[in-house]
Amino acid sequence: MAEVAAPASVPAPVVLKLEPAHVLCDRCLGRRLIGAAGFDAQAAKAREVRTWAEVPEPKCPVCEGAFEDAPKWLAVALEAAAPFQFATFQAGTKFPSPCEGLEKEISRAMGQEKSGENIRTEANRWLATAIAKATGATTSPEGRPELVLDVDTRYWSATAESNSVFVKGRYNKLRRDIPQTHWPCRRCTGKGCWECNDTGVTYAESVEDAIGEPAEPLFGATGFSFHGAGREDIDALMLGTGRPFILELKNPRRRVADLPELESRINAVTATSGAAVRDLRMAAPEEVAAIKEGEYGKEYLAHCLAETALAKAKVLEVAAALTGVALDQRTPDRVSHRRADLVRKRTLHKVTLEAMEADPGVRFSLRVHAESGTYIKEMVNGDEGRTTPSFAALAGVPVKVEFLDVVAILDDAPAA
Ligand SMILES: [Zn+2]
Ligand SMILES: [Zn+2]
């Protein structure tokens, strides 16, 4: 066991207690002494001072001569990267854990856990430089690279994973029997069971699938998920200029695609899918949070049915009375499993009569411009007193919404 004081040329005070087996090659010693690779001369000088034996790299217990294989790391990394289109990347390497463990132990013995550089950092830098040279892509040590490459130096194998790309647009939902997003079966959570006929989903179709399924092959992606600026009920239509959404495409091989072509593929089958899109463009990842947090006023058409016929004058009077009112809305039972039970204040900016089938009559449609988060069905039927005031309470007869359509999401996008 040797105990050696640090020579003057070495910045950190070093008291080294190493077993004879812990003798390192110049490369690995250099990383410990000066915190950066490639300073073999520095290591050699330290050896002179300390009379440490020099170990050839293949016999070094930390690197085991791995750096001799560096061209192979590059080859497997390039092979893994080949299917992907990328301009920025991050390269990582993996070494056998006994080697990394030993390096840590030596660092500790030298009082250098916090300084110095480990074997992975040196290998990553070499690999990143080589990949950049071979591909013309740039490394992105911070932030979000387009491609993440990992090389296992022991097995000469590599994996490549590309970060998601995002497509933003607006959608219409033109069917009352499809949900906005893919809806896994609640009983089996997607595995397939008797209740869902082994499909794993409660609804076989959705707006998400209608948009994501044609987008996936265009980007060479292996999956997608859908982020909407809020959502409408399954039985509600989304009309007008549509609702903003972002489609996230996972592990894409291509980062650009012909978006007008995607738009026309989706819209070519709207009659059966019930989904249409417009204004498609590529989006930044940060826009997902913005779209989910956005609180926009909305305009609805509520197609109502009264239990007994109402005079048109009465409907007009109640609509006028509700305009500008701040409702007290207690969380409806139908959503209480996913929202806290409390009373919210929601403003009705404008309520007008859109159409009425007869005067007096039982069927009429209200155009409602309401604050984000207003429960429209409950605003009409009163939800057994949980929403006050309500159309039904003011009209003096039970009234319910037969169909609800969202006709405008009042975000800052220009109206079509
Ligand atoms: Zn070594
Ligand atoms: Zn199921």
- To the nearest whole number, what is the mean pLDDT of the chain? 88
* C-alpha separations of 69 from 66, 82, 99, 117, 170 in Å: 6, 20, 16, 20, 51
Give 187 Cα–ligand 2 centroid separation in angstroms. 5
Least confident interval from 25-29, 251-255, 354-358: 25-29
Structure confidence by residue, pLDDT tens digits, 209-219: 999 999 999 99
Question: Terminal CA-to-CA distance of the chain, rounded, Å?
Answer: 81
Is the pLDDT at 73 greater than 60? The verdict is yes
Q: What structural domains does the chain harbor?
A: 2-162 (3.30.2300.10), 165-293 (3.30.70.2510), 297-410 (3.30.70.3190)
| More confidently predicted of 25 and 345 | 345
- From start to end of 206-331, where are the E strands? 223-228, 237-250, 275-283, 297-310, 326-330
At residue 376, the 3 state secondary structure works out as: helix
The ligand placed nearest to the CA atom of residue 25 is: 1
Least confident interval from 194-203, 297-306, 343-352: 194-203
Task: For 168, list phi and psi in degrees, rounded to 5.
Answer: -105, 150
Give 244 Cα–ligand 2 centroid separation in angstroms. 30
pLDDT-above-90 percentage for the chain: 67
β-strand 88-94 against 138-139: which pairing, if any?
parallel
- What pLDDT does 53 receive? 65
Most confident of 41-50, 154-163, 194-203: 154-163
Give 86 Cα–ligand 2 centroid separation in angstroms. 38
Instruction: Give the residue from 385, 376, 301, 386 showing the smallest Cα distance to 336.
Output: 386
What's the whole-model pTM score? 0.83
Average pLDDT over residues 250-278: 97
The two structure tokens encoding residue 19: 């077993």
**Which residues are catalytically annotated?**
233
Answer for the pair 235, 178: CB distance below 8 angstroms, yes or no.
no
The ligand placed nearest to the CA atom of residue 186 is: 2
Is the pLDDT at 16 greater than 60? The verdict is no
79/160 Cα distance (integer angstroms): 9
Is the pLDDT at 17 greater than 60? The verdict is no
The ligand placed nearest to the CA atom of residue 200 is: 2
Confidence label for 45 from pLDDT (cuts 50, 70 and 90)? low
410: CB partners within 8 A, 6+ apart: 296, 297, 298, 299, 369
Give 31 Cα–ligand 1 centroid separation in angstroms. 9
Confidence label for 326 from pLDDT (cuts 50, 70 and 90)? very high
- What pLDDT does 335 receive? 81
Give 385 Cα–ligand 2 centroid separation in angstroms. 36
